[in-house]
C-alpha cells in the first residue's frame, strides 16, 4: 500500500480541508487524495485532532511553549481507520467512495476536443468546475495555461508535464501562467479529477477560436 504521495496536497490546503474551510471543488480533490493515500489521510486526521486539542486547551489556559509539538507526538501513534468500502458504478472500480457520490447515474465517457475523454462532475457550488479526464497512454492535453487555480488528483495511471511526473494518488496545483501539456504515461490510461476555478487558456493556434467557447462554458 502506498505510504505517502510524492506530490501531496500543500499543507495549507490540507489544513483548510481539515477545518472545513475549502470550497466544494477543491475539497473534493483533497478528499480523493485522502482516500487514496494513507499518509495524507493521517496528516488530515492529525490536523483535525490538533485543532480540537488546541481549542480545548485555549479554553482552559494559554498554551505553553512546545504544546503543539507534544500534541502532535501523542497523535502520531493513533490508529487510522481505512476508508469505507466504495459504492462504485460498473466500470468505475478505480473511483474512491467520495467520488462515487458525485458521479451521475449511468455516467459515460464522452470524447471532447483534443481527442481525450471526459465526464463532467456536477458540483452544488458554482465557484469551480470539475471533470474527470481520461487519456490513453502517450496522449496529451492541448497546450494551455491557467489564469486561476487548477487542482488535479490522479486516480489511475499517471502523466508527465514540465513540472514533473504524477501517478495515482498524487496531487498537483496548476503551474499558473506557465503553459504546460500533460502527457499520459505508458501503461494504464491516465484518469484524473480536474477542478478549475476559471477556464484554461489554449496557447496554440486554435486558441484564437476555441478560447471564447471555453470562457462561455461551451467546451
| Contact (Cβ atoms closer than 8 angstroms) between residue 43 and residue 16 | no
Q: Which residue has the higher pLDDT, 49 or 85?
A: 49
In CATH, the number for domain 97-215 is 2.60.120.10
pTM metric for this prediction: 0.77
Candidate from 51-55, 63-67, 82-86 with smallest mean pLDDT: 82-86
pLDDT reported for residue 73:
54
Candidate from 4-18, 51-65, 105-119, 129-143 with smallest mean pLDDT: 51-65
Query: How is the chain split into domains, by residue range?
Result: 11-76, 97-215
Looking at the chain, how many residues does it have?
A: 219
Q: Which residue has the higher pLDDT, 154 or 198?
A: 154
Q: Which residues make Cβ contacts (< 8 Å) with residue 125, sequence separation at least 6? A: 23, 24, 25
3-state DSSP call for residue 91?
A: coil
Amino acid at each position: 500500500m502506498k505510504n505517502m504521495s510524492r506530490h501531496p496536497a500543500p499543507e495549507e490546503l490540507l489544513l483548510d480541508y481539515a477545518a472545513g474551510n475549502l470550497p466544494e471543488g477543491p475539497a473534493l480533490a483533497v478528499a480523493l487524495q485522502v482516500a487514496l493515500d494513507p499518509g495524507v489521510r493521517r496528516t488530515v486526521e492529525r490536523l483535525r485532532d490538533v485543532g480540537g486539542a488546541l481549542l480545548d486547551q485555549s479554553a482552559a489556559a494559554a498554551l505553553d511553549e512546545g504544546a503543539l509539538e507534544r500534541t502532535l507526538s501523542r497523535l502520531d501513534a493513533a490508529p487510522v481507520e481505512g476508508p469505507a468500502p466504495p459504492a462504485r458504478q460498473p466500470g468505475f472500480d478505480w473511483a474512491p467512495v467520495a467520488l462515487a457520490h458525485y458521479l451521475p447515474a449511468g455516467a459515460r465517457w464522452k470524447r471532447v476536443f483534443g481527442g481525450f475523454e471526459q465526464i463532467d462532475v456536477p458540483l452544488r457550488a458554482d465557484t469551480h468546475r470539475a471533470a474527470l479526464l481520461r487519456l490513453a497512454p502517450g496522449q496529451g492535453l492541448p497546450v494551455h495555461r491557467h489564469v486561476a487555480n487548477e487542482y488535479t488528483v490522479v486516480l489511475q495511471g499517471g502523466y508527465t508535464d514540465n513540472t514533473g511526473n504524477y501517478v495515482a494518488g498524487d496531487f498537483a496545483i496548476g503551474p499558473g501562467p506557465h503553459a504546460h501539456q500533460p502527457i499520459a504515461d505508458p501503461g494504464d490510461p491516465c484518469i484524473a479529477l480536474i477542478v478549475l476555478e476559471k477556464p484554461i487558456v489554449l496557447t496554440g493556434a486554435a486558441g484564437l477560436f476555441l478560447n471564447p467557447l471555453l470562457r462561455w462554458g461551451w467546451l
